[in-house]
Amino acid sequence: MTTQQTEFEAKAAESGNAATERFRESGKTASLAVPKERVSLLANEVLGAVYETIRKHKVTYDEFNALKSWLISVGEDGEWPLFLDVWVEHVVEEVSTEDREGNKGTIEGPYYVPGSPKFESPATLPMRDGEGGTPLLFQGQVRAVDGTALSGAHVEIWHADDNGFYSQFAPGLPEWNLRGTVVADAEGNFALNTVQPAPYQIPTDGACGKLIAAAGWHAWRPAHLHLKVSAPGYQLLTAQLYFEGDQHLSDDIASAVKPELVLSPAPSVDGTGNEVTYDFVLDAERG
Ligand code: MBD
Ligand code: FE
């Protein structure tokens, strides 16, 4: 086995278990009081859709047992967060933000860590000496739907490095590498320096990878920046931004690309990298 394979195989277990642990710590499980009527309605409809599929395609015992075995391995590999965020979250995001007038958002994914180091704008994200990837100056303004500049808005950003690794979910990276919270100025303007991430392949050696291989799909997401943009009194915007020309914009494994979220960076004036401007528009909290 080559070193590269060894490192890659370290990745599914490491990232899956870290993502499972993060979810447990996130506080999201504290609000699991879904009313009995909703549980019954949703569970019945999901099971009904399963029965319909089984009858329609005359699912065999071999196929049923393959499913059982695969579902067991999703848990063993810590990949429930990965599975749900890749194949389900995008529809939840769609219905929960459908009446917003401001910025389109998209899924959070499994690799968010709250509490990243905070920087006044203009900022440079924490990164290693000689961090790989084209330097990127990302700037813009945070506004309300009515055009009001949102002074001191927070632009929280996290993304993979040039090899597709997220800090705290892959071994050997500094804790907050390529993660930070940038505080916009009095006019809501922010500017931050980072590097352009590379397209990202979800781990192929865990249960999700087995499904992808068994179905003959591919494991790629387009290169992306993750963001959470917030200001007091406004709805939190969770988004991702992509890059024009990326070959996976139209076949993202996580179905999380929207045309409004695609950046078109241009070479920076000083010739050292790329720069791009993108403004965020937040919806007021509903009274
Ligand atoms: C990612 O980086 C990601 O953003 C999603 C949604 C799923 C897997 C890996
Ligand atoms: Fe991601």
In angstroms, what CA-CA distances link 272 with 23, 81, 131, 193? Answer: 38, 37, 14, 12
Query: How high is the pLDDT of residue 11?
Result: 67
CA distance 54 to 124: 53
Ligand 1 atom closest to Cα of 224? 4
- Kindly give the distance from the C-alpha atom of residue 189 to the centroid of ligand 1, in angstroms, as a whole number: 28
Q: Which of 40, 31, 85 is nearest to 208 (CA)?
A: 85
Ligand 1 atom closest to Cα of 108? 6
CA distance 259 to 21: 33
Q: Tell me which residue has its CA closest to atom 3 in ligand 1.
A: 109
Ligand 1 atom closest to Cα of 226? 4
Read off the CATH number of the domain in which 11 is found: 2.60.130.10
- Kindly report the pTM of this predicted structure: 0.94
Left if phi > 0, otherwise alpha if psi is -120 to 50, otherwise beta: which for 166?
beta
CA distance 200 to 164: 5
- Tell me which residues have their CB closer than 6 angstroms to ligand 1: 82, 85-86, 107, 109-111, 200, 202, 221, 254, 256
Question: Residue 269 belongs to what domain range?
Answer: 1-287
Crossing angle for the helix pair 89-96 and 80-87, to the nearest 10 degrees: 50
For the chain, the first-to-last Cα distance in angstroms comes to 59
- Kindly give the distance from the C-alpha atom of residue 41 to the centroid of ligand 2, in angstroms, as a whole number: 32
Question: pLDDT tens digits for the chain (287 residues)?
Answer: 333 433 444 468 788 988 989 888 887 776 678 899 999 999 999 999 999 999 999 999 999 999 999 999 999 999 999 999 999 999 999 999 999 999 999 999 999 999 999 999 999 999 999 999 999 999 999 999 999 999 999 999 999 999 999 999 999 999 999 999 999 999 999 999 999 998 889 999 999 999 999 999 999 999 999 999 999 999 999 999 999 999 999 999 999 999 999 999 999 988 899 999 999 999 999 87
Tokens of 220: 């790629």
Residues 108, 240 contacting (CB under 8 angstroms): no
Mutational pocket test of ligand 1: of 22, 85, 163, 248, the residue with most ligand atoms within 8 Å of the beta carbon: 85
Query: How high is the pLDDT of residue 3?
Result: 36
Query: How high is the pLDDT of residue 30?
Result: 66
Q: Tell me which residue has its CA closest to atom 9 in ligand 1.
A: 202
**Domain tally for the chain?**
1
